[in-house]
Amino acid sequence: MSTRDVPAQIGDLPPIGRPANSALLAAGITTLTQLATHSRRDLLAMHGVGPKAVTILEAALADRGLGFAE
């Protein structure tokens, strides 16, 4: 799937860019609750997910009272 075909925003995840969205979709992550089951290290290991995306995702998790897995 080309990143052109990936939506700009998925589920309740904040907009983080198409490459990162593509990586999350490939991993089956479409919600903040699903995201919270993964560690920061797991996310950074995904091709397309960088520190900026992880920072944005972390803030969205914190807004919902959630955090990354250890």
Per-residue pLDDT of the chain (70 residues; tens, 9 = 90+): 555 666 667 889 999 999 999 999 999 999 999 999 999 999 999 999 999 999 999 999 999 999 999 8
CA quadruple 25, 19, 8, 33: dihedral positive or negative?
Answer: positive
Please state whether the predicted TM-score (pTM) of the whole model is above 0.85. Answer: yes
Per-residue pLDDT at 4: 63
Contacts of 4 (CB under 8 A, 6+ apart): 18
CB of 52 closer than 8 Å to CB of 19: no
CB of 67 closer than 8 Å to CB of 58: yes
